[in-house]
Structure 1
Amino acid sequence: MDRFDLIIRNGTVATAADVFVADIAIKDGKIVQLGTALEGAAREIDAAGKYVLPGGIDSHVHISQPSGEGIVMADDFASGTLSALYGGNTTVMPFCLQRKGHPLREALKEYHALAEGECYTDVSFHLIVNDANETLLGQELPALVRDGYTSLKVFMTYDDLRLDDASILKVLDVARQTKATVMVHCENEDAIRYLVEKHERSGNVEPYAHATTRPVAVEREATHRALTLAEIVDVPIVIVHVSNGAAMEEIARARMRGGKVVGETCPQYLLLTADDLKGMDWEGAKLVCSPPPRDKAAQADCWRGIEAGVFDLFSSDHCPFRYEDVRGKRNTKGLKSFRHIPNGIPGVETRQPILFSEGVMTGRISLPRFVALTSTNHAKTYGLYPQKGTIAVGADADIAIWDPTIKRTIRHSDLHDGADYTPYEGVTLTGWPTTVLLNGKIMIEDGTLVGRKGDGQYCAASLANSIQ
């Protein structure tokens, strides 16, 4: 009888702390032994010349999320997790949106039903709080945190989502009491609204105006305010999708004051600029997201944040819509204003290849830093470590095997999400995942899907292993 189900042999293994050559033995979905010349498996994979990394964890994705009247998100759980899998990810963390006037637990029941039997990766849910009423704060949230929903997101922008400062303080206080983790989208909605009205009065309604109505100042101010509120409550905080050096400086200053702050950035702030929103025939709408891409100087700042440790997380903020669709981005042209454009871009499949190619292969970051930014730190921040996010005895056998010699040009026709475009069309990258294992099961083998929809499961977070 075989001792192991599978051995991955001869690969260069990387964790967030180390790089070494080893064989990995897997049994019943877990990593059970690391060593050399391991024997006794029913199946072997020869990973010579390749990197064997923990499966990616993308902790900032939007899947099957309500998006406003007449607007439909392009990805359900099947297409969203399949796309993630092809990008070397084995866990994604989408957001369950609270509907105003309805219990959060009701929204969770509906969201779980959408995911059940549909996933190619494991999933774990964040909660979006947009109605900080007394019942939610005093009863629902504490109970949900105990049940494993340990991360909450609040918004400082969007009329239908944002909380005022008093409500944010209340949510942060619940997080302090329950040890939950709070993520904050930092943009000043009142300043944005002032600029939107000014732009529309002057007839400046093209997609590029989305960027000029959300300048660096509105993100910097809101970042400072969110960090101040967290300091008042004395609670850790996650600042998501940081796009520029000024907001990074706010994070660095808060840390100098003793605050525990997790910083996150995304691929769009490394490869895109606001000028890309100037595309002809409304095509700039394809790149509308918030915060918007900035300029080359901000790109350099974000790379500096990745290299120097200002950023702990590299996430996609995958929020896909179709362009050629009456419920998508192009239809905005009939509505005649940038403010009607569905807000978000696809990117879950290309997140890791972009950072691997532009970070690891260029020498900007080490392989362990890549693993930390794309997997381990996500697991540690959101209560999934050490079950997820590392290659170690006892961990889930969530593994991606990367071929650093593959050079590929991004084409949406080769991707697997439900959108009809990619913001990174034509970008050539070096290094791609070729084989992906989920809980010890081979899901993608040499670029071919062999796993099945429904192989992915829901994973509850653990307070014992969260940021607090």
Structure 2
Amino acid sequence: MTTEEIVIRNGTIVTASGVFERDIWVQDGVIRRIAKDRLGASRICKSEGKEWDASGMYIVPGFLTLPGKSPSPQRKLPDYLETVRKLVRFGYTSMSEIQPIDPWKNAAQRRYQTVIHYNSLIDYTFVAEVPASMMNKRITLQLCAEGYRIIRVVIRKLEDFTRIDWETISPFLTSYRVLLILHVPANAGFSKEEKQRISGLWLDRCRYWQIRTWVKTESELAAEETQSFYHLYQLDGLSCDLALRSMIHTPLRGLSVMAALDRVQVDARRLRGREEEVLRALVKLCSTNMAKALGLYPQKGSITPGADADLVFIKKEQWLTKFDLSTILKFSEFLLPTSVMSNGKWILQDDTFASTIGMGRWLRDIKPYRFVI
């Protein structure tokens, strides 16, 4: 059996836990060894192995999308690939796709809707989306039996929330260790106070029944939350500013927050920290924490032996060097990696996309209860 091997040398690795100079050995799409020497190269990388020079670059783990940022509406292959390539250009190497659960769909029809992703360049996983009015014993058991471990519950009316029979569905959710996502659409017509009330009621129910959940928040509640294992918080826009600054100044403190890379905004005038410290905090918020919330860590969101070789390469000369300190900073506008590797294969190399399609895998075995964030 032939193997694909590569050694990435002279790069600066940036992870949620620190910054260090190391070489990376990749074999069969998996990181096999990380070290700053050539010891073991002859054993791990055979004569057919290749080397790639990452001098002058930061190497970070690939980023993961939030559920809902999906290319699935693009049913034509060229449009679909273009949409996925835009994700890759941001540095995304895994995406979480929404699988709408409608009353008329059976398991076979839901599987049919996954066909388009067989052309994906990057790995993907599915999150079931269920209207709160449908969240009953039958649907919950059916989704759990089909392997769904994350369910996004959509609330469009307050009475939908009150109709959820928590006592009936909670045994299945806790037995199968299912994570729930609260989703209140922007067009639902709720006021800010009503959204806060729904969020508070939701968190109370999930805490009582010991169900892990995440909600979207724009407040500082996440920084003071005591039930950190069961409550996760999705940040957006300038709400990421406080979390990033906290991660920079108190790097060992845990914060149960995550955000999509292309949605992060910060006030550059208040941001304090060296370039590498800011990048480390960004990796923690948008890669490592996201992978833990989606149940994919440490396979994703990490650069460690045994993890998938999903690597993003950023030129040091471009990171935090060309922006106006008086503006709101959007990292996605200038991060733009020059090379991206997914499962040990180049999908973007030196600003050129590879022609390979269909290498993305459906990640089925997810465990969102595995790690504290």
Q: TM-score, normalised by structure 1?
A: 0.64
Distance across 1 between alignment mates of 2:86 and 2:332: 18
- The counterpart of 1:114, out of the listed 108, 113, 116, is 116
- Verify: 1:256 aligned to 2:226, yes or no: yes
The CA RMSD measured in Å over matched residues stands at: 3.8
Confirm or deny that 1:82 pairs with 2:81.
Answer: no
Q: Please say if 1:376 is aligned against 2:288.
A: yes
Match of 2:349 among 445, 451, 459: 445
Whether contact under 8 Å (1:187, 1:221) holds in the other structure is: no
Q: Is the 8 A contact 1:57 1:374 kept in 2?
A: yes
Is this contact kept in 2: 1:65–1:97, CA < 8 A? no
Out of 48, 56, 77, the residue aligned to residue 49 of structure 1 is 56
Change (3 A) 1:99 1:132: same
Q: 1:75 to 1:183 in 2, by over 3 A?
A: farther
Q: C-alpha displacement at 1:448, in angstroms? A: 0.7
Secondary structure at 2:65's aligned position in 1? Answer: strand
* Superposed displacement of residue 167, structure 1: 1.8
Q: 1:312 offset after TM fit, Å?
A: 1.8
Shift of the 310–155 alpha-carbon distance from structure 1 to 2, 3 Å rule, reads: farther
Deviations 1:262-285 (A, max 9, x none): 11113xx23xxxxxxxxxxxxxxx
C-alpha distance in 2 between matches for 1:307 and 1:66: 36
Q: Which amino acid aligns with 1:457?
A: R
Give the aligned residue type for 2:34.
L
Deviation of the 1:452 alpha carbon: 1.6
- Is 1:235 paired with 2:211? yes
Paired residue type of 2:212:
P
Distance 2:151 2:290 in 1: 14
Percent of aligned pairs with the same amino acid: 21
Q: What is the alpha-carbon distance in structure 1 between the residues aligned to residue 210 and residue 79 of structure 2?
A: 37
- The Cα of 1:174 is off from its aligned counterpart by 3.0
SS in 1 for 2:306: coil
Query: Which of 286, 303, 314 is the matching residue for 1:391?
Result: 303
What is the distance in 2 between the residues matched to 1:368 and 1:223? 30
Letter in structure 2 aligned against 1:313? M
Residue correspondence of structure 1 range 51-200 to structure 2 within 5 A: 51-63=58-70, 77-103=80-106, 105-116=107-118, 118-130=119-131, 131-138=134-141, 140-145=142-147, 149-157=148-156, 163-167=160-164, 169=166, 171-186=169-184, 193=189
Q: Contact (CA 8 Å) 2:6, 2:50: kept in 1 or not?
A: yes
Amino acid at match of 1:256: T
> Which SS does the other structure have where 2:111 is aligned?
helix
Partner in structure 1 of residue 22 of structure 2? 22
Q: Does 1:218 align with 2:214?
A: no
Tell me how far 1:405 sits from its aligned partner: 2.2
Once the 2 structures are TM-superposed, how far is the Cα of residue 187 of structure 1 from its aligned partner?
Answer: 6.6
Confirm or deny: 8 A CA contact 2:256 2:289 kept in the other structure: no
2-structure distance, mates of 1:378, 1:427: 17
Shift of 1:18: 1.7
| 1:125 match: secondary structure | strand
The one-letter amino acid of 1:225's match is L
CA contact (8 A) 1:11 1:46 kept: yes
AA aligned to 1:391 is: I
Query: What is the CA-CA distance between 1:52 and the residue it aligns to?
Result: 0.5
How many pairs were matched up?
346
Give 1 or 2: higher strand fraction: 2
Please state how far the C-alpha of 1:260 moved relative to its aligned partner.
Answer: 2.2
Unaligned runs of 5+ in 2: 247-253
8 Å Cα contact 1:435/1:442 also seen in 2: yes
> Per-residue deviation at 1:66?
6.9
Tell whether the 8 Å contact from 1:187 to 1:223 is kept in structure 2 after alignment.
no
Alpha-carbon distance in structure 1 between the residues aligned to 2:129 and 2:63: 23
SS of residue in 2 equivalent to 1:184: strand
1:61, 1:94 within 8 Å by CA — same for their partners in 2? yes
Letter of the aligned partner of 2:36 in structure 1?
Answer: T
2:242 to 286, 304, 316: 304
Any unmatched runs of 5+ in structure 1?
Answer: 194-213, 271-300, 317-349, 411-423
Paired residue for 1:319? none
Tell me which moved more, 123-132 or 74-83: 74-83
